[in-house]
Structure 1
Amino acid sequence: MQEREELILNPVPQEERTGWKAPLFNILGCNIAISELMVGGALIAGMTLKDMALASIIGNLLLVAILSIQGYIGYKEGLNTYILAKGAFGDVGGKFVISLILGITSFGWFGVQAGVAGLSIQKIFPGLNFTVTTIVIGFLMVIVAAYGFKTMAIFNYIAIPPLIILLIWGLIKTIGINNIESIGSYMPAQHISLKDGINMVVGLIIVGAVISPDYLRYAKKSMDIFMVGFIGFAIISIFQQIAAGVIAMQAPTWDITEVLAQLGFNWIAFAILLLAAWSTNLSNAYSGGLALKNLFPKYSRITLTFVAGLIGTGIAALGIVFKFQSFLGFLSMMIPSIAGVMWVEYYIIQGRQFRVREGINVPAFFAWFLGFLISFLSTKYQYGLPPINGIISASILYLVFARLFRLADK
């Protein structure tokens, strides 16, 4: 079941493609996650149930659109995100800059999930040290990811159903404590605007949507992309966020482990959270390993996946989980404009053909940086949706730069 090394940097041939099932379950492994529950808990702390549901629906539909546009490139070319980035940013720029940025992001997400897993284990065994526990569990998580795409899918077939059952279990317990009428009339003590709520939802998995070619390169037909996007984002993510929000009404907080503890859940619930964090971190370690493979092609993907996981474990041990919401905001600003540049290059300039530019494509980097800056300023001055502003502005700017520098002729 180990992924063949030659499929990492080269197009996945049709005979190696699995169709929609394995990509879907690997996306589900990424999205059926404690971080989704954390966002649900954070939203309900400042929004009514109706507004939270609206923010979740709008945000996740935007993510489906981003995944569909980005994932089609991976499906069509059979290549992962880090190779595809060379098309717009150049073989040097895409390899050393974009791969490094996306790789660090994967390491960071690994840190978040490993940190929450450490919290879950502490709920079962309160006497354990958080740092040591996180380091041990982070190392164990990366072992499965090292085997590659198909093995990850098998793990996710096992890991995903228990978390869904846990959410249903939590909803039943919550309704038993608060009747449906009081849940519907819930009023938060704080206030989060609809716009900020949507931004939190989009910022949560914007990285997953941008790196979706890592998984959709195994799709057999374009309809597979719709299946993965609609089920993996629109249905599952909305359900998780709303369910977590309802469960967290008793004690509104992003820390889902604390919420479950206050509801009286026993060690089984925290074991399930641990399994969910493990399945999500397979994706983070895998994508981080792909990024490093693009940077260091002479080393095996298995070795580099271990390196990615160990870096993420170190980040977790530093306590990044306790700065979760700030981390989301940072990601929502940096990553989207990368996709905007890639879309213009692939769909407009190259006419749906993948070509690698030589060296560093300076106009692409200017467009990406300005898109990132606009996203940052949008956050600072609370204008629009920063991730979407970043994508749109980077796309327009790169299109203008492409015309000015006649990139279509090069």
Structure 2
Amino acid sequence: MPSPSNDYSLQRVPDSQTVSSGHIALVIIGGTIGIPAFLMAAQIGSGLGFIAATTAFICGALILGSMNACTSWVGSVTRLSASKLIENAFGMQGSKFINAMVAFTLAGWYGVICKMFGDAANTVLSSLGVHLPHALYLIVGSILMLWVSLKGFKGIDKLALWLVPLMVIFIMTAAYKALESPDAELLWQVKSELSFTSAISAVVGAYIAGVVIQPDYSRFAKSPKGASLAAGLALVIAFPLVLTLTSIPAIISQQSDLILVMVGIGIGAPAFFLLLLSSWSSNVLTLYSSSLSINTIFPTFSLRNITLFIGILGTAIAFTDVQSYFIEFLILLGIAIPPVGAIYCLNFWFNSKRTSEHDKIKNNHWSAIYAWLSGCIIGWLSSNDYFSITQVASLDSILLSSTIYFALRKRCLHFPRKLIKQDTLIVENNPINELLNDKKE
């Protein structure tokens, strides 16, 4: 039986636990508002100028929104987490490495954001005359994030419902105050310190991992169409709006740190609350999805204990200097993770076309593994300027891996005697297989 205490991490979410698509949209928007997004928007705004930066934000968001709609659709139809969808696509053993990679990446980001929160909180509160140990900010922030994550999706849903409107108000306040500055004309200066394609790549890279783990939240949606629409629009409309508002004070003040800008224009207290709320909102999602990925690898462990472990691990990372080296590694993983979402979406599409009800998952599904490895290689070549199709490394990796996976799977379907034994498609007692069979009946 599905276990609510494990937040249905290994089973399909029942109808009784679903929520409206509006709730899903708020969760996504809450995940996009965070310190990394603030820094990225400020740097792009300062490097390109307001008009070009806004255009880059919109282009990147269109790419993310279309992909997010696809992964959200698959998650809401199957009612399965991203880690279970990965298991269906890559096989029982092949998926363990992929899920471990996703979990490790998210745990690393959890630590990095905790570190950013601690540093920024110390700066803001010191400017307000409050001097507390730096470690205290890290520990208290991590405890708050853990507290909500342990409550599962319901806790995340409630958090987003309260925090997203507040965060948007704080960002709008900073933009409004900046526009009152005598230096507001700086907003219209044209700059070329950053290439336009690099800016789009940065926007895509800022949330591409979130697109891959989108089923973790859309699986709770009542309607697949509503979930897909909400997920797409949340990134196509809300994300570029947040980035644009964030870039305004950065461009006018010539300062790349939104929090310091807010302190400089006399709204230090709202700056601290924005910092707290944004870190809280984005890191809760990171911790939750990381825990789901690990739970798929170790199904006998409770989701609660896994969440506690990853939270402690991420907090420990925040106390070390490893993040100064970890960022480069995370960038590489940003190339490796995007093809995963494309492959599990295509896998779902292929399975929906199958007529056989006797397929079983083997340890490894080689078509998915070969396609993913090919995508990683082209992504690495693109990121190092050796070869590129779209000038965006993550998109190059997605395009190639999708093409190869499609070709290999079509070959498997046409020549089953040769290849079907090496790359069977659906696991015995697999929730996706059960779902498709229920539809046929």
TM-score, normalisation: structure 2: 0.85
Q: Would the aligned equivalents of 2:88 and 2:344 in 1 still touch at CA under 8 Å?
A: yes
Q: Would the aligned equivalents of 2:183 and 2:253 in 1 still touch at CA under 8 Å?
A: no
1:153 and 2:157 correspond:
yes
Q: Distance in 2 between matches of 1:300 and 1:235?
A: 37
Q: Distance in 2 between matches of 1:206 and 1:367?
A: 18
Within 5 A, what are the aligned runs for 1:178-193? 178=182, 182-188=185-191, 191-193=193-195
TM-superposed CA distance for 1:372, in Å, is: 0.9
The SS at the match of 2:48 is coil
Q: Distance in 2 between matches of 1:300 and 1:131?
A: 29
Within 5 A, what are the aligned runs for 1:190-339? 191-252=193-254, 254-319=256-321, 326=328, 329-339=331-341
Q: Which residue of 2 is the match for residue 122 of structure 1?
A: 122
Within 5 A, what are the aligned runs for 1:27-66? 27-66=28-67
TM-superposed CA distance for 1:263, in Å, is: 3.0
Q: Residue type matched to 1:401 in 2?
A: L
Q: Residue type matched to 1:149 in 2?
A: F
Assess, with a 3 A threshold, how the Cα gap between structure 1 residues 41 and 321 changes in structure 2: closer, same or farther.
farther
1:399 and 2:406 correspond:
yes
The SS at the match of 2:93 is helix
Q: Distance in 2 between matches of 1:319 and 1:68?
A: 37
Q: Which residue of 1 is the match for residue 436 of structure 2?
A: none
Q: Would the aligned equivalents of 2:47 and 2:193 in 1 still touch at CA under 8 Å?
A: yes
Assess, with a 3 A threshold, how the Cα gap between structure 1 residues 284 and 336 changes in structure 2: closer, same or farther.
same
TM-superposed CA distance for 1:371, in Å, is: 0.2
Farther-moved stretch of structure 1 (199-208 vs 397-406): 397-406
Q: Distance in 2 between matches of 1:28 and 1:270?
A: 20
Q: Residue type matched to 1:98 in 2?
A: I
Q: Deviations over 1:294-333 (max 9, x none)?
A: 1221121111111122222222223577679746633431
Q: Distance in 1 between matches of 2:255 and 2:203?
A: 16
Q: Deviations over 1:327-346 (max 9, x none)?
A: 66334312111122223322
TM-superposed CA distance for 1:259, in Å, is: 2.8
Q: Would the aligned equivalents of 1:337 and 1:368 in 2 still touch at CA under 8 Å?
A: yes
Q: Would the aligned equivalents of 2:94 and 2:364 in 1 still touch at CA under 8 Å?
A: yes
The SS at the match of 2:353 is coil
Q: Would the aligned equivalents of 2:118 and 2:134 in 1 still touch at CA under 8 Å?
A: yes
Q: Residue type matched to 1:245 in 2?
A: S
Assess, with a 3 A threshold, how the Cα gap between structure 1 residues 261 and 210 changes in structure 2: closer, same or farther.
same
Within 5 A, what are the aligned runs for 1:82-97? 82-94=83-95, 96-97=96-97
Q: Distance in 1 between matches of 2:52 and 2:262?
A: 23
Q: Which residue of 2 is the match for residue 141 of structure 1?
A: 145
Q: Distance in 1 between matches of 2:160 and 2:282?
A: 9
Q: Distance in 2 between matches of 1:208 and 1:399?
A: 23
Assess, with a 3 A threshold, how the Cα gap between structure 1 residues 285 and 359 changes in structure 2: closer, same or farther.
same
The SS at the match of 2:348 is helix
Q: Percent sequence identity over matched residues?
A: 24
Q: Would the aligned equivalents of 1:32 and 1:280 in 2 still touch at CA under 8 Å?
A: yes
The SS at the match of 2:47 is coil
Q: Which residue of 2 is the match for residue 168 of structure 1?
A: 172
Q: Residue type matched to 1:298 in 2?
A: T
What is the aligned-residue RMSD (CA, Å)? 2.5
1:388 and 2:395 correspond:
yes
* Structure 1 residues without counterparts, runs of 5 or longer: none
Q: Which residue of 2 is the match for residue 108 of structure 1?
A: 108
TM-superposed CA distance for 1:108, in Å, is: 2.1
Q: Would the aligned equivalents of 1:286 and 1:305 in 2 still touch at CA under 8 Å?
A: yes
Farther-moved stretch of structure 1 (117-126 vs 367-376): 117-126
Q: Would the aligned equivalents of 2:7 and 2:152 in 1 still touch at CA under 8 Å?
A: no
TM-superposed CA distance for 1:162, in Å, is: 1.8
Q: Residue type matched to 2:179 in 1?
A: I
Q: Distance in 1 between matches of 2:66 and 2:214?
A: 12
Q: Residue type matched to 1:18 in 2?
A: V
TM-superposed CA distance for 1:129, in Å, is: 4.2
Q: Distance in 2 between matches of 1:252 and 1:324?
A: 28
TM-superposed CA distance for 1:252, in Å, is: 4.1
Q: Would the aligned equivalents of 2:106 and 2:287 in 1 still touch at CA under 8 Å?
A: yes
